[in-house]
Amino acid sequence: MHAHHQVDTYVITGGGGYFGFRLACTICKKSYKILLFDVRPPSQPLPGGVEFVQGNVCDYGMSGREQLNQKLTEEVNIQETENVIKACVALGVPRVVFTCNVVFGGQVIHGSNETLPYLPLHLHPDHYIRTKLIAERQVLEANGVLLAGGRGVLQTCALRFAGIYGSGEQRHLPRIVGYIKCGLFRFVYGNPGSLVEFVHINILTSAHALAAAALTKERGCHAAGQAYFISDGWPVNNLEFFRPLVEGLRYSFPRLHLPLSLVYHFAFLTEMVHRVVAYKTAMTHFSTGKARVELGYGPRGYNLGEVVAWFRSRGHGRKRAASPAKRLALDVLLLATGLALALSFLPLVC
């Protein structure tokens, strides 16, 4: 989420995180003043025109185990979003852009657009997304609220983005690389025709800037109260998307295909330890036509090449490829271990 104040100043909440910092780098090129607001500063030096302000409004980089703390999740995603809206109204901040994908809850989404209704809250298996859904509603319902002192009205919109990737991403891609290196990424599963969306960080930051511009009087505020899907625009199989990363680090892409039912057993076992949610591998891709028409957004041809180069520059990657016999032995060992574990827990999951 970011707010715009007096034309030339942006405040980016969660500005110490990957997306917030990269967004600052994008819009600071247009000579705006940027304030990054977060509990921790960025790990990289601040570019010119960007300042960091330490504070505890919200953390938009929650993932993994952090999402399991329901009380903290509700405070961050609901209460603090309300605090941001109240601050904008009180200070006369005219524009707010909210960013998160809140429509997916395990159901199949096949090329849908923004008319897709929210999944009912009680059907969401993921408390994090459930609270983000409530937060998006808060932001969009605040559109048109009178600003204090008669300084106009608040204009808001929301961007619903896909999985973010890009060089320097520190949460999800390092986890994938860890799986690759320790041998956990040794099988594929599910329907090869199941497609999902991803979005390069540069596309998302560009869309964010376009959305903010589309809330101005000069653009007729035509994005006010609207939600937009943002992605690369090329749906891809979730596992195939990572093939360039696997092979770019000199590992063999998995040839072993496991039935999805067995993977759910794996997911159940993993969930007991680290809460990995398997439903997120379901088919979910959507139309970006509305963003293209109303925001002028247009995806460009990014790929994982720069991500591979970034990891290899930091010492990741196999020095020597394993022999076919060794790869086969590892595949068999992993499958046998997984089957034994899954079968031992069958009474618990049936």
Cα atoms found within 13 Å of the Cα of residue 126, Cβ hemisphere only: 24
Backbone angles phi, psi at 337, to 5 degrees: -65, -45
- Residue 332 pLDDT: 65
- Residue 46 pLDDT: 92
Residue 220 has pLDDT above 60, yes or no: yes
% of the chain residues with pLDDT over 70? 76
Residue 274 Cα distances to 17, 137, 339, angstroms: 23, 30, 19
- Residue 84 pLDDT: 92
CATH architecture of 2-172+198-236+284-305: 3-Layer(aba) Sandwich (3.40)
Angle between helical axes of 173-182 and 305-312 (0-180°, round to 10): 70
128 is catalytic: yes
- Minimum mean pLDDT range among 42-46, 131-135, 265-269, 325-329: 265-269
Residue 59 has pLDDT above 60, yes or no: no
Per-residue pLDDT tens over the stretch 308-346: 999 999 999 887 655 666 666 666 666 665 555 444 444
Per-residue pLDDT tens over the stretch 76-89: 788 889 999 999 99
- Residue 111 pLDDT: 76
- Residue 266 pLDDT: 61
Per-residue pLDDT tens over the stretch 239-261: 889 999 999 999 988 887 777 66
3-state secondary structure the chain: CEEEECCCEEEEECCCCHHHHHHHHHHHHHCCEEEEEECCCCCCCCCCCEEEEECCCCCCCCCHHHHHCHHHHHHHHHHHHHHHHHHHHHHCCCEEEEECCCCCCCCCEEEECCCCCCCCHHHCCCHHHHHHHHHHHHHHHCCCCECHHHCCECEEEEEEECEEECCCCCCCHHHHHHHHHHCCCCEEECCCCCEECEEEHHHHHHHHHHHHHCCCHHHCCCCCCEEEEECCCCCEECCHHHHHHHHHCCCCCCCEEECHHHHHHHHHHHHHHHCCCHHHHCCEEECCHHHHHHHCCCCCCCCCHHHHHHHHCCCCCCCCCCCHHHHHHHHHHHHHHHHHHHHHCHHHHC
- Residue 62 pLDDT: 44
- Residue 331 pLDDT: 65
% of the chain residues with pLDDT over 90? 41
Token couple for 209: 């800037």
Angle at the Cα of 112 from the Cα atoms of 284 and 305, rounded to 5 degrees: 45
Per-residue pLDDT tens over the stretch 282-313: 557 788 999 999 999 987 778 899 999 999 99
- Residue 154 pLDDT: 97
Average pLDDT over residues 275-284: 50
- Token pair 């025709």 in the structure block, residue: 193
- Give residue 226's pLDDT band: very low, low, confident or very high (50, 70, 90): very high
- Residue 260 pLDDT: 65
Q: Which of 18, 128, 228, 302 is catalytic?
A: 128
Average pLDDT over residues 23-35: 84
Residue 349 Cα distances to 159, 215, 336, angstroms: 37, 49, 19
Which of the pair, 57 or 280, is modelled with greater confidence?
57
Q: Are 207 and 295 in contact (CB under 8 A)?
A: yes
Q: Are 24 and 50 in contact (CB under 8 A)?
A: yes
Q: Are 70 and 128 in contact (CB under 8 A)?
A: no
- Residue 2 pLDDT: 62
Token couple for 70: 């329901």
In whole angstroms, give the CA distance from residue 10 to residue 106. Answer: 35
Average pLDDT over residues 20-40: 87
Q: Are 200 and 165 in contact (CB under 8 A)?
A: yes
Per-residue pLDDT tens over the stretch 196-213: 889 999 999 999 999 999
Average pLDDT over residues 19-30: 88
Q: Are 166 and 245 in contact (CB under 8 A)?
A: no
- Minimum mean pLDDT range among 151-160, 177-186, 262-271: 262-271
pTM: 0.81
List beta partners, residue 53.
37
- Residue 77 pLDDT: 82
- Residue 270 pLDDT: 55
Average pLDDT, the chain: 81
- Residue 122 pLDDT: 83
- Residue 279 pLDDT: 44
Residue 177 has pLDDT above 50, yes or no: yes
Average pLDDT over residues 160-180: 90
Burial class (CB in 10 A: 0-12, 13-18, 19+), 71: exposed
